[in-house]
Chain A
Amino acid sequence: MTTPLIRPKRKNPVLRTRQMNLPPSGRGRVALGLTAAAAEGRFELQACADCGAVQYPPREACCKCLSVRLRWREQPGEGTLLSTTTLHHSNDLFFRERLPWRLGLVHLDAGPTLMVHLHGEVGDEPGPVRVGARLDRAGQAVLIGYPKNGGAHMADDTMLREMTSDPKFRKVLVTDGKTEVGQAIVRALVKAGADIVWVGHAEPWKKLGGLEDISALPQVTLVPLDLTNGRSVTELAGEIGGKVDIVINNAEVHRTFGIGARRGTDAAKAEMDINYFGLLRLAQEFGPALKGRSADGATGATAWVNLLSIYALANFPPHGTFSASKAAAHSLAQCLRAEMRPAGIRVVNVFPGPIDDEWNQHVPPPKLASGTLANAIVKALRDGIEDVYPGDVAQEWLERWRDNPKVLERELAAGGT
Chain B
Amino acid sequence: MARHRQSYEGVAVAVPVTVPYVRYSTRTAHWFIGQAVSGLLQASGLKKADIDGLSLSSFSLAPDTAVGVTQHLGLSPRWLDHVPTGGASGVMCLRRAARAVQAGDADIVACVGADTNHVDSFRQTLGSFSNFARDASYPYGSGGPNSIFAFITSNYMRTYGATREDFGRIAVDQRTNALGNPHAMFKKPLSLDEYMSARPISDPIHLFDCVMPCAGAEAFLVMSEERARGLGLGHAVVRGAIERHNAFADDPVMFRGGWLVDRDDLYAQASTSPDQLDFVQTYDDYPVIAMMQFEDLGFCAKGEGPAFVRAHTMTSGGTFPNNTSGGQLSAGQAGAAGGFLGMVEAIRQLTGQAGARSVPDAQLGLVAGFGMVTYDRCLCTGAVILGRPA
Q: Report A's interface with B, CB cutoff 8 A.
A: 23-28, 30-31, 56-58, 63, 82-92, 94-95, 101, 103, 105, 107, 113-117, 125-126, 136, 138, 140, 142
Contacts and interface: CB of A to CB of B under 8 A. Distances in A.
Contacts of B249: 63
A89 B198 CA distance: 13
B122 to A, nearest CB: 7
A346 B143 CA distance: 25
Contact of A24 (B132, B138, B146): B138
B123 A107 contact: no
Contacts of B127: 24, 26, 92
B134 A28 contact: yes
B139 A140 contact: yes
Nearest to A84: B154
B142 to A, nearest CB: 3
B134 to A, nearest CB: 5
B323 to A, nearest CB: 24
B139 A24 contact: yes
A259 to B, nearest CB: 47
A91 B127 CA distance: 10
Contacts of A94: 142
B158 A95 contact: no
Interface in B239-257: 249, 252-253
B230 interface: no
A92 B376 contact: no
Given A82-B253, A105-B253, A107-B252, A27 B140 contact: no
B147 A103 contact: yes
Given A28-B131, A95-B142, A56 B136 contact: yes
A57 B375 contact: yes
Given A30-B135, A57-B135, 11 more contacts: A24-B134, A26-B138, A31-B136, A57-B375, A83-B155, A83-B253, A91-B142, A95-B143, A103-B141, A107-B253, A126-B158
Nearest to A94: B142
B126 interface: yes
A116 B137 CA distance: 9
A63 B136 CA distance: 16
Contacts of B151: 82-85, 103, 105, 115
Identify the 5 closest CB pairs spanning chains A and B, nearest first: A92-B142, A85-B150, A31-B135, A57-B136, A107-B252
A91 B136 CA distance: 16
Contacts of A57: 131-132, 135-136, 375
B122 A91 contact: yes
Interface residues of B, number: 39
Contacts of B75: none
Nearest to A92: B142
Nearest to B152: A83
Interface in B129-173: 131-132, 134-144, 146-148, 150-152, 154-155, 158
A142 to B, nearest CB: 6
Contacts of B376: 105, 113, 115
B253 A89 contact: no
Nearest to A140: B139
From A83, A103, A136, name the one whose CB has the most chain B CB atoms within 10 angstroms. A83
A230 to B, nearest CB: 40
A171 B204 CA distance: 41
A140 B138 CA distance: 12
Contacts of B140: 103, 115-117, 142
Greatest chain B CB density within 10 A among A23, A63, A105 is at: A105
Nearest to A126: B158
Contacts of B141: 87, 90, 92, 95, 101, 103, 117
Interface in B107-134: 122-123, 126-128, 131-132, 134
Contact of B203 (A31, A85, A117, A125): A85
Nearest to B156: A83
Interface in B219-275: 249, 252-253
B386 to A, nearest CB: 35
B139 A142 contact: yes
Interface string B351-390: 0000000000000000000000001100000000000000
B182 interface: no
B136 A85 contact: no
Nearest to A117: B140
B158 A125 contact: yes
Contact of A27 (B135, B142, B199): B135
A82 B254 CA distance: 11
B65 interface: no
A84 B204 CA distance: 9
Contacts of A117: 140-141
B126 A91 contact: yes
Given A57-B136, A101-B141, A88 B123 contact: no
Nearest to B374: A57
Contact of B137 (A85, A115, A140): A115
Contacts of B104: none
B114 to A, nearest CB: 23
B135 A24 contact: no
A60 B362 CA distance: 49
B139 A136 contact: yes
Most buried by A among B123, B127, B136, B137: B136
A91 B158 contact: no
Contact of A89 (B136, B148, B201): B201
Interface string B79-121: 0000000000000000000000000000000000000000000
A86 B200 CA distance: 9
B134 A26 contact: yes
A32 B123 CA distance: 23
Interface in B6-34: none
B139 A90 contact: no
25 contacts: A23-B139, A24-B139, A24-B142, A27-B135, A30-B135, A31-B134, A57-B131, A57-B132, A83-B152, A83-B158, A85-B203, A86-B202, A87-B141, A87-B146, A89-B201, A91-B143, A101-B141, A103-B140, A103-B141, A105-B376, A107-B252, A115-B136, A115-B140, A125-B158, A126-B158
A115 B376 CA distance: 8
A116 to B, nearest CB: 7
A88 B204 CA distance: 11
A85 B253 CA distance: 14
B211 interface: no
B205 interface: yes
Given A105-B376, A116-B140, A85 B158 contact: no
A94 B128 CA distance: 17
A105 B122 CA distance: 24
Contact of A88 (B148, B158, B200, B253): B200
A88 B146 CA distance: 10
Nearest to B246: A63
Interface centre among A85, A103, A113 (most CB of B within 10 A): A85
A28 B127 CA distance: 12
B203 A90 contact: no
Contacts of A23: 139, 142
Contacts of A31: 134-136
A89 B123 contact: no
